Amino acid sequence: MILAFRGNFVHTPSYGQMDMLLDKLVIVKEGKIARIATGDHESEVLQEFSLSSSDVRRLREGEFFLPGLIDTHVHAPQYKFTGTGTDVPLMEWLRKYTFPSEESYKDREAAQHRHALLVKRFLSNGTTTATYFGSLHLEPNKILVDSILALGQRAVVGKVNMDRESPEDYMETTEQGLKDAEEFVQYTLSKKTTRIYPCITPRFIPTCTVESMKGLAAIARKYNIHIQSHISECCGEVNFSRHLHPEYKTDAYVFDDMGLLTDKTLMAHGTLLTDEDIKLLVERGTSVSHCPLSNFFLGDACFRVNNAMKLGLKVGLGTDVAGGISPSMLSAIRMAVVNSRCLRAHKLAVKGGLEVTPDMEVDVISYKEGLYLATMGGAKALNIDNQVGSFEEGKEFDALLVDVNAEGGPFDIFDGDTIEDQFEKFINLGDDRNILEVYVQGVMVKQGDVFLGDSTIKGTSVDLANGKREVSTSDEGQQSKRVKAS
Ligand SMILES: Nc1nc2[nH]cnc2c(=O)[nH]1
Ligand SMILES: [Zn+2]
């Protein structure tokens, strides 16, 4: 299967560098970028790939390709209450909203329906790779894998483990948790797909015993797979961790001693990490998922991206749905910029607002750095930067076709707007209405309103149709459910 596109491509191959690749001919062969040529070499390149001029998809004015967005932190079974439950701090939020929501995914039908909606929503927003925390129970996580597989997304997925300090009806024994975690890994690997990576997922230090954390680290080593958790997120969490593990200085040292800091580990938040913690993470090759919107609601500090990058940390960007109230990575980019400006504003306030000094600017990032975090940064954080994150020959084609002139779109283009202006408008003002097509591994998985899924996956029970919503006829929302076209 060969695809040929001619037009503009934009990407951020390194932090602070955004390249506008104008009038390029890009050939995608068997899912990978086989050639990036300048437009004036079209005829010879087409000949080389036995293509004719009519095989070329020519982008219109205002259209361009962007690398697929990479969300490095999402809680799949929290999708149900996304956009609500913003009134309490983290530890209370978990008990009041989160655990009940996650527990309710035990209902097979509900899990099937909700996970399909989740994956579709993320694909619509241009998230070609998502890093999912699943729920405690094994079955809903298998359903999540099936949904991702059928709908064509790339993902890192983990079954959550929690064997202490949790509600009685939403907790497992250490033994059962380890057994289910391994079974989940085996289930995912049995799908023999190159775009879903199983992940070991101790929820966070307070809900995991030492035995569980060490056992999970052993499973990760056995299968050489990813690990994800939450680290130094907020005062409530950090204080509780210190109370449970007074012998360790910080979360980072607990995780390290458990064997959970590896070069395939991705830790969410890290707003309260010290420079010493960051250096330890860097030494281990561990990355951090920066979740600015969630941190504004549930955190107690702003993550200093530039400081972390300067120390050599790999940083990706995450929505942290539902702690973050938006599933959009464009929103996450904007929030990362705002987060950096809060750091500047804070310094100014501390100085009494009298004088702007150069040290106030060191934390500030622009939309270009935000885009890097949402693409290449995420790819590096997940150790998949040899596959995705930018447009490079040999990489897989995970990409979004964007149209700044989309009909009914959320912003306007004016005479005199340069291509870069148009692009900046999309990052700052755009939404799913501007995302015309979504590609993963060179397969178009969404076009317009239609989810095409992965046609190579047979016998799926996942609903590819649009416009369905769950309607509950009982307060609990579990007994009697039907699906209604909205
Ligand atoms: N933001 C966030 N932090 C957590 N820490 C432990 N669990 C969670 C969660 O679900 N969300
Ligand atoms: Zn989280």
pLDDT tens digits for 444-481?
999 999 999 987 776 666 767 654 445 443 333 333 33
pLDDT of residue 359: 86
Ligand 1 center to 233 CA (angstroms): 8
User: Among 71, 73, 74, 75, which residue has the most ligand 1 atoms within 8 Å of its CB, making it the best to mutate?
Assistant: 75
* Ligand 1 pocket, residues with Cβ under 6 angstroms: 75, 90, 94, 98, 203-204, 230, 233, 294, 298, 320, 323
Residues 371 and 404 in one domain: no
Positions in the chain short of pLDDT 50: 467-469, 471-486
465 assigned to some structural domain: no
Of all atoms in ligand 1, which is nearest to the CA of residue 204? 6
479 assigned to some structural domain: no
pLDDT of residue 475: 36
386 assigned to some structural domain: no
339 assigned to some structural domain: yes
468 assigned to some structural domain: no
Burial of 463 (0-12, 13-18, 19+ CB in 10 A): middle
177 assigned to some structural domain: yes
User: Among 71, 82, 90, 294, which residue has the most ligand 1 atoms within 8 Å of its CB, making it the best to mutate?
Assistant: 90
Residues 63 and 74 in one domain: no
User: Among 80, 86, 162, 204, which residue has the most ligand 1 atoms within 8 Å of its CB, making it the best to mutate?
Assistant: 204
Residues 161 and 254 in one domain: yes
- Structural domain span for residue 400: 2-67+392-451
Nearest CA to ligand 1 atom 11: 323
Q: Which ligand is nearest to the CA of 324?
A: 1
Ligand 2 center to 204 CA (angstroms): 9
* Dihedral (CA of 33, 35, 39, 42) sign: negative
pLDDT of residue 459: 63
Residues 326 and 409 in one domain: no
pLDDT of residue 351: 83
304 assigned to some structural domain: yes
Nearest of 217, 222, 326, 308 to residue 269 by alpha carbon: 308
370 assigned to some structural domain: yes
Of 347, 381, 415, the residue at which a domain comes to its end is 381
Give phi and psi for 259, each to the nearest 5: 85, 20
**For residues 164 and 167, what is the distance between their CA atoms, to the nearest angstrom?**
9
Ligand 2 center to 406 CA (angstroms): 33
How far are the Cα atoms of 52, 215, 370, 453 from residue 72, in angstroms, in the given order? 39, 24, 13, 22
Residues 371 and 410 in one domain: no
Nearest CA to ligand 1 atom 1: 323
Residues 205 and 136 in one domain: yes
Residues 291 and 372 in one domain: yes
Residues 196 and 234 in one domain: yes
Give phi and psi for 314, each to the nearest 5: -85, 125
Of 381, 411, 429, the residue at which a domain comes to its end is 381
Q: What is the CATH number of the domain that holds 104?
A: 3.20.20.140
Residues 11 and 56 in one domain: yes
**DSSP string of 34-88?**
EEEEEGGGHHHHHHHTT--GGGEEEPPTTEEEEEPEEEEEEEGGGGGGTT---SS
Residues 377 and 267 in one domain: yes
Ligand 2 center to 331 CA (angstroms): 17
**For residues 87 and 290, what is the distance between their CA atoms, to the nearest angstrom?**
22
Residue 101 corresponds to which tokens in the numbers above? 């929501």
pLDDT of residue 220: 99
Residues 372 and 406 in one domain: no
Q: What is the CATH number of the domain that holds 30?
A: 2.30.40.10
- Answer whether 68's CB lies under 8 Å from 446's CB: no
Ligand 1 center to 253 CA (angstroms): 19
Q: Which ligand is nearest to the CA of 162?
A: 1
Give phi and psi for 7, each to the nearest 5: 160, -155
Residues 143 and 14 in one domain: no
Ligand 1 center to 94 CA (angstroms): 7
Ligand 1 center to 447 CA (angstroms): 33
Of all atoms in ligand 1, which is nearest to the CA of residue 230? 5
Of all atoms in ligand 1, which is nearest to the CA of residue 298? 1
Interface ipTM:
0.99
User: Among 91, 162, 163, 203, which residue has the most ligand 1 atoms within 8 Å of its CB, making it the best to mutate?
Assistant: 203
**For residues 62 and 40, what is the distance between their CA atoms, to the nearest angstrom?**
20
Q: Which ligand is nearest to the CA of 204?
A: 1
Domain count, the chain: 2
pLDDT of residue 323: 98
Paired strand residues for 32: 29, 396
**For residues 155 and 70, what is the distance between their CA atoms, to the nearest angstrom?**
9
pLDDT of residue 465: 63
What is the maximal distance between C-alpha atoms in the chain? 68
Ligand 1 center to 297 CA (angstroms): 12
Instruction: Report the chain's terminal Cα–Cα distance, integer Å.
Output: 36
Q: What's the pTM value of the predicted model, to 2 decimals?
A: 0.95
